[in-house]
A and B are shown apart, each in its own frame.
Chain A
Amino acid sequence: MKAKFFRTISILYKDLLCELRSGQGIAVMILPEILIAGLFRISGITITEPERLVSCVLLVNLLFAGILGGERTALSEHENGCINGLLVCPAKSEEIYFAKFGFNFLLLCLFGIIIVPILAILFLTESNIHLLELLFSILLINIALGSVVTILGFLVYRSGAGNSLLSVIFIPVMLPVFIPAVNLITYCLGGGDTIDTGNKAVQFLVCFDIIFLTLGWLLFDFVLEEN
């Protein structure tokens, strides 16, 4: 058990080190999303429910950050043939999956920490934010995003179908997460939804996270195995 944990952490540490050295992943995620947020703000749309608008913009940003991050995770292994090194290393496929998921999750959390204050500054005039609930909600959403994009990113790259297909399959799969997440984040930002809706959304997200993490763990072996 200890050996499994250390193997997972080693692969995660390797990815984090590469990311710290290059800094490309987080830059690719952050800059377009700030532009998107700015575009929404300067478009001059009438804001009647600012909390709901912020939750939508935040989720769109998280979605595209997830796609970009997932593409980079898979691409970084496939370019220069690094995937062969990963396959022959003593780590099992589930350890690789959880390491890659951990990397995507941490990247998305970092992204969330940066983007949420920016959105609050751009859109919210009055602040009635339930901060702990907001952080917990974003954590749940990032677990869902990370678990799905890790397996789909590798799936699309192994298929040789091209990275543009990741968004084609990722967005419909993630749609059931975003529908309750809009209500949940609206509540966390002090919007009109009740705590009852928030509780139901949290239960839904926890279910989704558990099931898709389990699914990713079970299926990742088939994605990585040679023909």
Chain B
Amino acid sequence: MLKRSMWICFVAGLMGAATMAQTPTPTPVPDCPELEGQPADVRTGYYLGQGLAYFAGNQLRAAENSFTCIIATIDSDSVAAYMNRATVRTASRFYEEAVEDYTEALRRDETLVTALNNRGILYAVLGETEEALADFDAVLSIDADNFGAANNKAVFQAIAGDVPGAISTLEAVIEDSGVADQLADLQDPESEVELEDLEINPEAARAYALLGIMYSKVSLENYRNYLTLQPSGDFRIADAAGSLESRFTFDLRLEDGTWWLAANYDTTAGR
């Protein structure tokens, strides 16, 4: 069965939105009358389909109820239901409840890298640094080639102030993924390799973009250091610093930088 994943970059302000995260409220068990008396797999399939359809229509409360029906009345060990409910709760900004759902999923399958990655992002949003890094590291200990998680780890390292660590993580992605060799082939004037001939891992390619941001950040810090020491120094440096600062404010910001964290919402998760 094909696995269709949807990679979604968190949009601007998610980190800022952490302060607006809605207070979790106990979820009452909704009415779950559909297909009563039918086999559990039929009812599970029905409520999964219903929940995903509601989610696609942005009917978040209804979607959450559908997945709660599975957990509360059909199968309390349904990893798929926990994973999908976590997605809905994330979209609803019930971040703490979403963390709980990913944790429940991981209690049933501790190797579920999607849950670890997405929970790591939620921990980052909630400002729980150690937990976030632990989740990204856990993904990498299970799947060293999970370059998405490595990129997330690098972003979070940078947000936490460890830019050298972030650069090191990203360079490892570039090296381990083989994307550096692919790039060298493409840039070699003697080579006949075309981009269409190569299967580029988008996460590996993204490491270059993130690395650019890291070096921009380092550049900005160096410009600032210079301007601190020489406030009336070369005006071109002040201009360059201003330009970079502006870009960090509007385009590349890392400080509230869940912009660059990537979650994986896989509707088929939980197999």
- A interacts with B: no
- Listed in ascending order, the chain B residues whose CB lies under 8 Å from chain A are none
